[in-house]
Structure 1
């Protein structure tokens, strides 16, 4: 079973491309014969984790990819690391605005994605989809969910062999969110859905990640 998640709209937007893409990718992969579920998460600290944990318990997936919107980024961002820090620049959809709070008191400072991020990066580029390996998922609800996912996968009583793999992907604005001529980066919804499907397909056939350069100088 494969679990995909995306978020409800936030920050005054009427859509969130992370959910549009996750929902569409779910249907694409189901048509290919894969067992896939898509779950929408609230853009709310803590509540989003409750919904995610319920989905993990209900679906018992072997692969989990959570998706969020990173408006202003021009590419599909394969997130490498989640950090144990909530530091909100804007309130979430319930008005919460945590500052410098550990998600898990005393927990690890960070977790790395267990997705084959370099192999997925190469596959996306081969498919003509703009992509990058990102070194920061921010400190808002996206990172909150990413860290919670990896913490759950590392500490669950069911964690074992083979381990459940998981990670996080940020997507740009969807084209209809961006005023024409504004120059703000965006991608069509269909491209983002296919990007998620490419990552899933890659993860299912990749046991050892590639060694290739996709780092950052700053």
Structure 2
């Protein structure tokens, strides 16, 4: 295994509700075609819109790949821009998933903090990508919506001590194509990796294995 390569996992969600084709998974597949450069080992996964699957899948991705970064992508019917989510929330999960299930506790991790922020400076990512001439509008948000997106993000942030990101994309054609979204994801994730590697250059490394 080439240790100089960074491992990055990007997930999109499967169909739910009126989203019979989920723009997030289309965007992730388009990004996979583009890749993240030769020094990044990119793995993509489609996540079903089910709380219990997320509970087992997210930890298994961290354990299997030991990634530098995990980026979850979801669709928001209200979004008109690509939205970088700053934090995940622990409580307030009352919406039923595709299996008509929601957690009894209505929370992600019992006893976990109410909110976990990503270690990635989303404002900085937003600014850099917005000025890069990509032709896709990017914004920042502090509310990932208290459904599977937020739930997945919080779970990942909790497991990774903040080395996760969440990106909301608008539905296809409103206004961007899958290819547009894929190009934007590529640029955004590359910026995130750049910021993480800069941070690692300034922070003494703590190995915990």
TM-score, reference length from structure 2: 0.83
User: Structure 1: any 5+ residue segments left out of the alignment?
Assistant: 155-163, 176-184, 209-218
Which residue of the partner structure matches residue 70 of structure 1?
A: 76
Partners in 2 of 1:58 and 1:98 — Cα distance?
25
**Candidates 139, 148, 153, aligned match of 1:146:** 153
Q: How does 1:40-119 map to 2 (within 5 A)?
A: 40-89=46-95, 91-98=96-103, 101-119=106-124
Q: State the SS of the aligned residue for 1:195.
A: helix
- Whether 1:191 aligns to 2:180 is yes
Consecutive aligned runs of 4 or more in structure 1 exceeding 2 Å deviation: 86-89, 97-100
Report how many aligned residue pairs link the two structures: 188
CA RMSD of aligned residues (A): 1.8
User: Residues 117-128 of structure 1: matches in 2 within 5 Å?
Assistant: 117-126=122-131, 127-128=134-135
| Distance in 1 separating the partners of 2:119 and 2:185 | 16
Point out where structure 2 has 5 or more consecutive residues left out of the alignment: 1-6, 200-209
Of 191, 194, 204 in structure 1, the residue corresponding to residue 193 of structure 2 is 204
Q: What's the CA shift string for 1:52-78, capped at 9, x where partnerless?
A: 221222221101110111112100010
**Conserved 8 A contact 1:84-1:147:** yes
CA distance in structure 1 between the aligned counterparts of 2:109 and 2:189, rounded to whole angstroms? 28
- The match for 2:171 is 173
State the alpha-carbon separation in 1 of the partners of residues 154 and 59 from structure 2: 12
Deviation per CA, 1:114-138, whole angstroms, max 9, x where unpaired? 2231222013212221111111001
TM-score, scaled relative to structure 1: 0.80
